[in-house]
Amino acid sequence: MRMGTRTRMTKNTASRPKRQAGRRHPLTAVALITIGLFSTGGVYTLFTSSASAANSTATAGTLEDGGKLFAANCATCHGVNLEGTKNGPSLIGVGAAAVEFQVATGRMPLAQNGPQAEKKPVQFTSDQITALYTFVASRAPGPAIPDAKYLQANGDTAAGAELFRINCAMCHNIAGAGGALTQGKFAPPIGGVSPQHIYEAMITGPQNMPVFNDMNLTPQDKANIITYLKFLDKSPSVAGYELGSLGPVSEGLFLWIFGLGAIVGVTVWLAAKSN
Amino acid sequence: MSTTTEQPGTEQQGTEISPTRGQRFTGAAANYIDERTSISGLVKELGRKIFPDHWSFMLGEVALYSFVVILLSGTFLTFFFQASMATVIYDGSYVPLKGVEMSAAMSSTLNLSFDIRGGLLMRQVHHWAALLFVAATGLHMLRIFFTGAYRKPREINWFIGFVMFILAMAEGFTGYSLPDDLLSGNGLRIIDGMVKGVPIVGTWLSYLVFGGDFPGTAIVGRLYTVHILLLPAILVAAIGVHMLLLIVNKHTQFAAPGFTNDNVVGAPIMPVFAAKAGGFFFIVFGIIVLIASLFTINPIWTYGPYDPSPVSAGTQPDWYIGFADGALRLVPPGWEVNLWGATLSLNIMAPILVLGLFIVLVAFYPFIEAWITGDKREHHIADRPRNSPTRTAIGAAGVTFYAVLWAAAGSDIIATHFNLTIEGVIHGCQFLLIVGPIVAYHVAKRVCLALQKKDREVALHGYESGRIVRLPGGEYIEVHEQLNEYERWKLVSYNDYKPLMIRPDANGRITFRQRLRAIASGWFFEDRISPVTRTEIERNSHDDH
């Protein structure tokens, strides 16, 4: 045993000068600098792409701005520490996506209490919105702003259409024209909504909408749904004016008022006595 | 045709001129046919059929013409539609459904819409024409009802017409279910639920209808046979009888000088009316095609193939089934009774019974009214609605009842578009369903009586001329202008009814039936304004001068 240790030790001592020699290799400095540059650059790229903040000093500024904006516009109902009050839910863990959706569609800040928050003109600039969601997301983890690759509307339209019919149409109507819920709540029409907001709505479940997490609908499923909705947005109706896409009610109303109205007009004209 | 007269002028012929070559050919051809078929008798009889000139008398024609359009466009659709629920993978032009599994029915309807020239237009023509057909039929029936044109001798024709209205709804519903898209499947699911709601035998009935568990693989084929064979055959036959009775009974007309209970004044079918009607057919056809080419109806490609799991928001039947859908929506929650382990679905049975009763009342209304009034005379003069206040009030109540059920079918759309709660809309409709007809009844009756009073006033004392005259004594009066005889005729010529008196029968007894009838008659004629009589007019004119 002793002998063995000794031999090992000798071996170690023998190898030390070799390593020292390696450290002094003339290319070491170059390699180190390269590694250093790459890692700094990598981290930098990572930061900018994930948080979409310009740099670390800017993030600090944004956070500070977000905190101020939050205190001035949101804290009354959601609490100074996001803990919620009896007028508004806690925002701990809602994530950047929820804040972005609610604020960038104008639903928040709320104008008045009602069955649900309604879409209205946006109150903040996009920088302010960024500051707000960065601030809220900094307090607790939650759904982040969706990756841009899912928002390109270049997925599988047919798969998206089927998922839409199964998961979304019962509230939002088959053509996305909206529908009624209980107690004055409603699923809003979703034509013309931006891909990012569609995605955020699915992962955060605003108002009365359920959350469709990634186990339920994978990010690719969500991208397919977005693809279908964008297809609906950009394809003109093949069969003429759609009468609001509300189904047989608007068709019947149209027929009685304009169809039968025109016909009755003709009968009156035909039966009129010439003067 | 001793009971017909022509309008002066229609009979005036041009001076005799020698026939041209064309006329000689027409004459020879007509003679050839007549010698072999003796058709001249029929033409003579039919050609003298008189049609009164009033716009509301043309609504039935609209229904007929839209039915012809439905037949034409429907025939086109049968060339390409496959009534099969066999599973296929769609591979047509519509991208968002490419590769989706669906029935052959749905796939062939999509091909009709996207890959067959003119197919989409024909589909839309067919569907819009169907909506118009039922709407025009309904409006036609309202005209018949409110003018009392169903009275003897036309009760049977009312009944036939009403059966056609029901058949038209059945035609519409079976057609709505054929494409096997999500909307039609959801409609069938409701029918399935209603069938299953029948006590005891419901489940087995549903198995019988769908050939197994819903949705099965048989229903589209079965509905197709009903839709294109059975119902159209009955409808065409019923239309034939309806038209035949229309010729036998002749048209009604509104009272006017020279327009009596014993004649019909208007244009004869040949040549004036035939030309007008032919033109009118093309106008109706044109309007339908115009609507079909500009406005989407039932975009099945958006609905996608039927799948029992999704139900879209805004899922409604076509308008004419709306009242039944509304009735289901208005049932308060919890109307179910558990008896000996079986569930009695009152939430289904109650609306079916109420609607059944409503339908029976409408179908047999002419017979009910005839029994109440005891009137066995023939009526060829159409009533002005105001001159039969109770009937008009009953009609207004019926229309209100139907309209509330109809509105209830769109409760979700009403809620979203008027910023209301859906519960509020439903509760409002429930309230209106009971109270609305009662209010409508009384308001309509009072309005009719008031209008009658006004007519009486005008007939007796003339209308207000707006000319104020100062008398020598300083008094101001408004000069009333007297109506001329022609105008007055329209106001005073209607039947006067009185409540029936109860009289003992041959055995000196008053039966229960008689008492019931006396009560009904009292209700019908208690409030009435008598028409102005000749003596009243004469006495009045003596007073004036």
Summarised one tens digit per residue, pLDDT across range B165-204 is: 999 999 999 999 999 999 999 999 999 999 998 888 999 9
Helix %, strand %, coil % for chain A, to 5? 60, 5, 35
How many residues can be counted in chain B?
Answer: 545
Whether A55 has a pLDDT exceeding 70, the answer reads no
Q: Are B95 and A162 in contact (CB < 8 Å)?
A: no
With an 8 Å Cβ cutoff, are A249 and B413 in contact? yes
What pLDDT, in 10s, does the model give residues A211-240? Answer: 999 999 999 999 999 999 999 999 888 889
Report the residue from B95, B293, B412 with minimal CB separation from A240: B293
- CATH 1.10.760.10 in chain A, residues? 56-144, 146-237
Nearest CA among B74, B110, B348, B346 for reference residue B236: B74
Domain A146-237 has CATH 1.10.760.10: yes
Query: What is the average per-residue pLDDT within A142-156?
Result: 91
Q: Is B256's Cβ below 8 Å from some Cβ in A?
A: no
Residue A5 pLDDT greater than 80, yes or no = no
Q: What is the ipTM of this complex?
A: 0.88
Which pLDDT score, from 0 to 100, does residue B6 have? Answer: 44
Q: For the residues A65-82, what does the mean pLDDT come to?
A: 90
Which residue is closest to A247 within chain B, CA to CA? B314
Could you please state the CATH topology (level 3) that the domain comprising A56-144 is classified under: Cytochrome Bc1 Complex; Chain D, domain 2 (1.10.760)
Closest CA to B303 of B211, B177, B199, B409: B177
A1 — pLDDT class (breaks 50, 70, 90): very low
Best of B413, B420, B425 to disrupt the A interface by mutation (most A CBs within 10 Å)? Answer: B413
Task: Answer whether CATH 1.20.810.10 is correct for domain B49-252+271-303+314-383.
Answer: yes
In contact, B350 and B197? CB cutoff 8 Å: no
pLDDT for the residue numbered B509: 83
pLDDT band at residue A47 using 50, 70 and 90 as cut-offs: low
Average pLDDT over residues A183-201: 93
Nearest to A216 by CA among A175, A159, A163: A163
pLDDT for the residue A45: 66
**Chain B residues touching A166 at Cβ < 8 A:** 307, 309-310
What does pTM read for this prediction? 0.85
CB nearest B310 (choices: A166, A241, A273): A166
- B412, A177: Cβ pair inside 8 Å? no
Q: Cβ neighbours of residue B248 under 8 Å, at least 6 residues apart? A: none
pLDDT at A43: 74
Q: Is the pLDDT of residue A11 over 70?
A: no
Determine the pLDDT at residue A6: 46
Cβ pairs A/B, distance under 8 A: 193
Q: How many CB atoms lie within 10 A of CB B391?
A: 23
Confirm or reject contact between B415 and chain A (CB < 8 A): yes
3-state secondary structure labels for all residues of B316-341? CCCHHHHHHHHHHHCCCCCCEEEECC
Report whether pLDDT(A125) > 80: yes
B96 contacts on A by Cβ (under 8 Å):
157-158, 160-161, 228, 231
Does residue A58 register a pLDDT over 60?
no
Q: What is the pLDDT of residue B325?
A: 93
The secondary element (H helix, E strand) that includes residue B102 is strand B101-103
- Among A25-34, A55-64, B232-241, the range scoring the smallest mean pLDDT is A55-64
CB contact A115 to B (< 8 Å): yes
Beta strands in B348-473 (DSSP E): 381-382, 463-470
| DSSP symbols for B221-285 | HHHHHIIIIIHHHHHHHHHHHHHHHHHHH---EE-BTTB-TT-B-SEEIIIIIHHHHHHHHHHHH
Residue A51 has pLDDT above 50, yes or no: no
- Write the CA distances from B163 to A130, A252, A274, B128, B419, integer angstroms: 67, 22, 37, 22, 39
From-to residues of CATH 1.20.810.10 in chain B: 49-252+271-303+314-383
Q: Over 80: is that where the pLDDT of A7 sits? A: no
DSSP state of A180: E
Q: Which residues of chain B have pLDDT under 50?
A: 1-12, 545
A264 chain-B contacts, CB cut-off 8 A:
55, 59, 139
